[in-house]
Amino acid sequence: MAVGGRAAAQAAPAAPSTRVAGSIAILEKHNKPSPDIGDAVVYLVGGSGALARPVTVDVTIADKKFVPDVVVVPLGSTVRFPNTDPFSHNVFSASDPNSFDLGLYARGEAKGHVFDHPGLVYVYCNVHSSMIAYVQVMGTRWYTQPGADGSFTITGVPPGRYALHAWHPRVPQEVVQDVVVPAAGLTLTAPLQLDARGFKWQPHKNKYGKPYPTNAGRELY
């Protein structure tokens, strides 16, 4: 089953009486609106029970971009990277213990990787330094991504104590808040605030641990 990335799959049946709902807000320079608030990931750590079932997700390569650029998958899931560009790409990650290298492959091909460890994975292309995607591998079954207005709902959460996490690719530090979920569910009265005002793009190394060639304006593809 291919899943396309705005809201993560939930394996457990919905339990309306045990939902956690709220919203996130991203602080931006000059109070500008956030264009990518839906890229955030909200999840709960704590409790017990079986993990969500693994899924297969496609992250398409198009116009030298990963689409979508953020995906959230349960532990053990497969992420495929179909190449639709008329030239080759080399998808890789140096994020241990989920590092991988798919090698160079051409248009019409799709290669993938199974993510066996929880955590955030940074995904790059060894040919194009501007390409970046984020794979959040969940070791919990309670997670989601917010809508365009920042609102979110996580369903099927058993009552108990949890750590509520909010992450966004432009915010260096996750927001973590301790919450108690009662039998009737929990609705947060105040937004979870993420601060992106200090965000600055940082260049990364290629798969050999070296800087990319400086060829601005001279790329053949």
- Sketch out the chain's domains with CATH numbers: 16-48+142-194 (2.60.40.1120), 52-139 (2.60.40.420)
Cα(100)–Cα(112) distance, rounded to whole angstroms?
10
pLDDT at site 101: 98
pLDDT at site 8: 45
Amino acid found at 68: P
Token couple for 218: 């001279």
pLDDT beneath 70: ranges in the chain: 1-17, 215-221
pLDDT at site 213: 86
pLDDT at site 15: 42
pLDDT at site 38: 97
Per DSSP bridges, beta strands 65-67 and 119-125 are unpaired
pLDDT at site 215: 63
pLDDT at site 47: 82
